[in-house]
Structure formats: C-alpha cells, structure tokens
Structure 1
C-alpha cells in the first residue's frame, strides 16, 4: 500500500522507487541508488527529463546525489544535502568520489586557468560550492577539477565564518531566478537555504517546507527580531532590523530590502495573501571541530 509521501523528498514513481521506500509505496521496481557528485558549477534540477521542464532547485559543485536512473542523457536523482528529488543532465555528475577539502565562502569566485588574476577565467563558483584543493601557489589554490581559485575565497569544510544574516546580505541585488541556488541568482527560499548553509545549517528547499521546519513562532510584529523569517503562502523574507526585510522577489526581479510598511500591503495586494507566520530560526553560527 502506498502511503502519502512528498515526491519532492522521496524518489518514488509507479515504475521505479528508492529501495528504502520498499513496504511504504507501490512500485514495479525498487533500486539501490548509486552515489555521484556534482561536477559542474551549477546544475539545474528539473521536474522532468528535459530542458522544457521547470527548474525546482540548483545543485552546486561538490553536492552529492543518489542516482536512481540514467536514461537518454538524464539522471533521476536525490540530493543528499536536502533530499530534493528531480532530473538533471547526466553530464553534470561524476561517479568518482572526490576528496572535497574546501567550500567557497563568498558569493562568487572565479576559476582562473593559471595561478594569476591576469589569466583566462574558465568558470565561476558559487557560495557553498565544495572543491578539492590539491596545491597552492602564492595567493591561489589549485583545484582537482582544473584551474586556480583565490585562496581567501575558500574555507575548510568544517569551518563556518559567515553568520546567517551576513550570508543573506551577500545576495543583495542578485537577480531573481526561480529555483536558483547559485551566484547567478536565487529565489526567496533559495536565499534562505543558501544563507543557512553558509552558517553551517542544512534546511529544506521550498518555502512551505521551511515554514514547517522552523517550529518557534513569533507572536506578532511587535516581537520580531533580526534574523526572523516572515512567511506568506509561497514566499519568505528575512527581517533585517529597523523595520526592513530582505527577500528575493519577482516584483523587482532581484534580492532587495523593503520596509515592512511597504512590503506587507504590497504582497497582500499582489498575491491576495496576508502575512501567515513569523518564525525564529535560531541559526547560530556553527564552529568546526
């Protein structure tokens, strides 16, 4: 008998399912997933196997996945970081497990062909991308995947120096991209997820998941504190103090700061939905062990 499962977080189709779901869902075949690692800087995770399908989130370099199916150049995968399920081009992954050593700690960092800022830029890495450093030369670190990155843009995997609020502010004026998690742009819940991860916390991807994930509810705007999250159906913002909230939004098509006296009536007028809840995430900065 199939129980009610969120297909965003469970790899289940009538013809194929994760072996860990056996006994919970009906499927023609259950499979043990293969491990793989995201090889490209940004990979779109889609609702179906093809570029015509919407993007639900982005995988960043170094993000590990389970692969359940590979067919016609597309993989059906689940991110190990936040459990999100979707389809991604097979060329985005490697099944060879890299020895990841560092994480990008700035919004974007260029990969140079050589250990010099005057050489060709061959790619860009986003905040929270994970890489393997194999050598250093002056101010630059050489990556196992090729190229060199400015060393000050990297931090060891078990270190965290960006508080949640500071990480969120890195995205100010970044473009709004539906499903975005990278330096090219984010959506509202992607902003929250990436800022939380920079501070050492893994949280769900979508707004409804985040609202349910954070349990501590704030009793009204009079009690709001910096870092609290404001939720509407399908939207989330971060309170930044002085009656200002940060949010990635499709009105301005970027991440920006708005006064609450503008934001609250604007969203209710545009979407027909008043503020639904205020949650206190308590995302204190982790320290490496």
Structure 2
C-alpha cells in the first residue's frame, strides 16, 4: 500500500481538504481536523473513484475487489478514501467497502471470471471479477476456490499472489479490443494509463495511475529517438502513454479507436502530433 506522504505537491495523492486531512499531514497542510484514517478493503467487483461526492462527478479511476484503502470519512453514501495501490484520493460508494481482513491470497489472471454461490458452473452467477482483482481464498473444492465471502471462482482463472506474468506487453495484448473508458482500470474499460498500470501490476510492478505520473516515476529515460525501441518500452506524450510490442508496433488505449488497439508507431506519432497530444515527450524503459 502506498503510505508515503513525503511529497505533498500532487493534489491527486494528498488526503487533505480544508475541513479534514490525514493526521500525518499535521503541520504541513491546514485543516480543521486531522484523523489517522481506518483500514478498509474493496469488497465489490469494481467501484468508481470520483473527484466529488456526487454520482454525476467525473470518474478519476476505479478500485477493484481486494484493493486496500484508507477511509477518512463516510457520509451520505460516499466514502472519502486513499487507494492503496497507487495513493489516489477521492470518493468511493460507501457500500463498496468492507473490513480490511481477511487479506487477499490470490489474484484473478483471467480477463474476467464469474462468482458462483457454490462450486458448480450450472449455478446462477452472482457477479464477476476482473483481471487483477484480489481475493481471499479459504479452501478449494474440486476445480473451484472458496472465498472468504462464501462465493466460488474457477481455480484456473486465479493464481497465488506471489505468481507474476513478467511479459507485461503480453498482458496488454490480451486486452486488445477492450473499450476505451476515461478513468477505466478494468478489463471492461481502460484508459491509456490504466492499460499500462494493469499490465505492469500483473508482472508485479507497482505503477502510478496517470500518464504524467508514470512518465516521472517509471523506468529510465531513453534518448529521444524512435528507431531503437524494443518490447516493453513506454512511449509518452503530454497526457498519453503507449507500450511497444516490438521495435515498430505500439499498443495503447485511445480515443481514436475508442479501444485498446495496436498500430504502427509512426502512424500513431503522426496522427497524435496533428490531432491531439502533440509530439512524443519521452521514452522510458523498465529494467530488472
């Protein structure tokens, strides 16, 4: 969980309002009162994190099953929280939160998998989980895992938390065709940085949420040239990011295709320069 509050320059990551702030910020930010926050966990398949406590407020990102959160205040159906995976601050539906324990033991490796009331595929599905969701498993019943909630999921769609998928570009390829969704972080809908964050998470690599944060915080900067790239390199524009599949092909969630799509890097660079984000701002490479 992202507990570091040493940097208070990015308002997306700072749990502080004029009336309320994290107690660790006392003396550094002004607020009417300070609270330590309470540990909670997301207990629904996914939940929208909004920038204001209104259902029509913009979607900043999404939390998924098993995400740890720090809860600072719950009021009128909304919970003001800080997300564990990337430190994002905002408002979740209060009903999406449950106790912090039990801690997850497994994660979902399928793009999506169904929740069943028992270990039988013929039972009516009670919901679904997305790639990257984390679950607390208490037992195995044949081909199914029993969760602490009493529900069951197909065992081969999950893996122990310690297992990773090092080829994060391969994970991104599995998501080709996923619809574009501003703020999306699940296999039902992704934005550009959500695709990168989700793919890296499967490889056991924690990543910031937004493209500008990823550009500052991931990997090492490469020389500003497009003719010496390799699989896994990240290409950044001002407000956009894509992932190289090889020396010439880019995969990215984008509003032009309204989906996760693969295209020649040169074609993407020319179109983006003309129509949207301008020139490439940097290229970064993740190293072991």
Give the TM-score category using the shorter length: over 0.9
Counterparts of 1:232 and 1:5 in 2: how far apart (Å)?
22
SS of aligned partner of 1:212: helix
Q: 1:175-231: per-residue Cα shift (whole Å, max 9, x none)?
A: 111111112111000000011111001110000000000251121112211100110
Give 1:227's aligned residue: 232
Distance in 2 (CA, whole Å) between partners of 1:39 and 1:271 is: 38
Q: Is the 8 A contact 1:125 1:183 kept in 2?
A: no
Secondary structure of the 1:246 match is: strand
Cα distance in 1 between the residues matched to 2:250 and 2:137:
37
Q: Is the 8 A contact 1:173 1:256 kept in 2?
A: yes
* Superimposed CA distance per residue, residues 22-49 of structure 1 (whole angstroms, 9 cap, x where no aligned partner): 1111111111101100010001000000
Q: Which of 10, 29, 37 lines up with 1:25 in the alignment?
A: 29
1:271 corresponds in structure 2 to 276
Task: Give the corresponding residue for 2:122.
Answer: 118
Q: Is the 8 A contact 1:197 1:203 kept in 2?
A: yes
Among 180, 183, 189, the residue aligned to 1:179: 183
In structure 2, distance between residues paired with 1:272 and 1:35: 38
The equivalent residue for 2:208 is 204
Cα RMSD, aligned residues only: 1.5
Partner of 1:85: 89
The whole-number CA distance in structure 2 between the counterparts of 1:173 and 1:100 is: 29
Q: Contact conserved, 1:115 with 1:148, CA < 8 A, in 2? A: yes
Counterpart of 2:267 (choices 259, 262, 282) is 262
Q: Residues 238-274 of structure 1: CA distance to partner in whole angstroms, max 9, x if unpaired? A: 0111511000011111101011121111111111511
> Please, which of 149, 152, 158 is the counterpart of residue 153 of structure 2?
149
**CA separation in 2, counterparts of 1:60 and 1:138?**
26
* Residue 129 (structure 1) aligned with residue 133 (structure 2): yes
TM-score, reference length from structure 1: 0.93
- State the shift of 1:94 in Å: 0.6
Query: Is it true that 1:236 corresponds to 2:255 in the alignment?
Result: no
Given that 1:34 and 1:67 are in contact with CA atoms closer than 8 Å, whether structure 2 keeps it comes out as yes
Q: Which residue of 2 aligns with 1:8?
A: 12
Contact 1:41–1:125 (CA<8 Å) still a contact in 2?
Answer: yes
Residues 46, 86 of structure 1: 8 Å contact kept: yes
The farther-off stretch of 162-171 and 172-181 is 162-171
Q: Mind listing any 5+ residue stretches in structure 2 that lack a counterpart? A: 1-6
Q: SS where residue 176 of structure 2 aligns?
A: coil
Corresponding residue SS for 2:126:
strand
Which residue in the other structure is 1:287 paired with? Answer: none
Tell whether the 8 Å contact from 1:42 to 1:59 is kept in structure 2 after alignment: yes
User: SS of the residue aligned with 1:173?
Assistant: coil
Task: Tell me by how many angstroms 1:146 deviates.
Answer: 3.4
**Is 1:192 aligned to residue 202 of structure 2?**
no
CA deviation map 1:133-187 (0-9, x unaligned):
1222211111122321110111111221352112111211111111111121110
Residues 56-75 of structure 1 deviation map (CA, whole Å, 9 limit, x = unaligned): 11101000000111111111
